[in-house]
């Protein structure tokens, strides 16, 4: 059976058309209608050839189980229903069997599900590659990099409670057997403006709320911080607490993940000290002074209004 025959026979049993290449007639209306039809039946993945379109369901679906991983493992790309696991498997097998570098580009608007898609790809590859103490340690480090990156680079926005406010280019290195050796982020771009100001209804980066909510009394005392969000100008108060987000539990997860990734205790403390310093810098107020040599001057005003 040829590849095209496999695609056609499978599509006959799908909701709508699983591969837009075979959509007839092809128009913007039919394209959107096909996506909607599939989405209404919890089919959130659709192909355009080798491209996977995913529509964020904003709810949990039972399609990422260990059984699903085994179902898509070492299968032809078009052999089963469209799934991000099929794309991950195709890329991994090409890398392992053909010794070809692979690149998976994940793009979409805010709230489209890019962060979750990247985690699904990484978790699939971790599940199907080799085993062993050293390999498992590397896999765990790669997976645990996600909560660390999300803590310092994700925030609640109007469209998404866990929106990535950064872009990254990550390389994962594999040996000749297809086992991961490690990873490196070679390009990283952060939305720095969010640190000092957030739109109404949005939050600053998660780490600030996590630290104040989950930090022990001893830790906060060392950092000279208070748990009260209202004490800090950089923290948006109208959405400081979000239903479904447990900042205290997430802080414990992040600290554990930092240890797994390889941060020493002293390094973790140093990072948290920087976070605390940023919060305190936001509380500094300035008072205008006279112009000197044609330039405006200002001085720091303390809580008592003195210079």
Binding residues for ATP: 108-115
Q: How many whole angstroms separate alpha carbon 226 and alpha carbon 246?
A: 18
Torsion of CA 224, 161, 48, 103, to 10 degrees: 10
Q: How many whole angstroms separate alpha carbon 243 and alpha carbon 49?
A: 39
Report helix, strand or coil for 141: helix
C-alpha closest to that of 235 among 249, 243, 222, 225 = 225
CA angle, corner 246, sides to 158 and 85, nearest 5? 75
End-to-end CA distance of the chain: 82
Is 95:128 a contact under the CB 8 Å cutoff? Answer: no
Q: How many whole angstroms separate alpha carbon 58 and alpha carbon 60?
A: 7
Count of H-run helices and E-run strands, the chain: 10, 8
Q: How many whole angstroms separate alpha carbon 130 and alpha carbon 265?
A: 30
Q: How far is CA 242 from CA 37, 195, 300, in A?
A: 32, 18, 34
Neighbours of 301 (CB within 10 A): 14
Q: Which residues contact 67 (CB under 8 A, 6 or more apart)?
A: none
β-pairing verdict for 295-301 and 285-292: antiparallel
C-alpha closest to that of 10 among 80, 61, 59 = 80
Give the residue ranges of the annotated binding site.
108-115
């Amino acid at each position: 059976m040829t590849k095209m025959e496999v695609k056609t026979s499978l599509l006959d049993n799908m909701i709508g058309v699983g591969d837009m290449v075979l959509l007839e007639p092809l128009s913007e209306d039919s394209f959107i209608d096909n996506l909607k039809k599939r989405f209404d039946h919890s089919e959130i993945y659709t192909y355009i050839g080798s491209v996977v379109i995913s529509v964020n369901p904003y709810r949990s679906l039972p399609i990422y189980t260990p059984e699903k991983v085994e179902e898509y493992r070492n299968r032809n790309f078009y052999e089963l229903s469209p799934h991000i696991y099929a794309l991950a498997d195709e890329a991994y097998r090409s890398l392992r069997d053909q010794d070809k570098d692979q690149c998976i580009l994940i793009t979409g608007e805010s709230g489209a599900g890019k962060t979750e898609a990247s985690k699904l790809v990484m978790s699939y590859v971790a599940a199907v590659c080799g085993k062993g103490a050293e390999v498992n340690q590397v896999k765990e480090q790669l997976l645990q990099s996600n909560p660390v990156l999300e803590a310092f680079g994700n925030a609640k926005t109007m469209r998404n409670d866990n929106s990535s406010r950064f872009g990254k280019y990550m390389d994962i290195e594999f040996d000749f057997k297809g086992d991961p050796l490690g990873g490196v982020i070679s390009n990283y771009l952060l939305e720095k403006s969010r640190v000092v100001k957030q739109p109404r209804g949005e939050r600053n980066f998660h780490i600030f709320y996590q630290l104040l909510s989950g930090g022990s009394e001893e830790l906060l005392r060392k950092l000279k911080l208070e748990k009260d969000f209202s004490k800090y100008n950089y923290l948006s108060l109208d959405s400081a607490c979000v239903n479904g987000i447990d900042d205290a539990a997430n802080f414990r997860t992040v600290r554990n993940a930092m240890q797994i990734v390889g941060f020493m205790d002293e390094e973790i403390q140093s990072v948290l000290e920087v976070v605390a310093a940023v919060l305190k810098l936001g509380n500094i107020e300035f008072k205008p002074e006279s112009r000197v040599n044609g330039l405006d001057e200002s001085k720091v005003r303390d809580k008592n209004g003195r210079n």
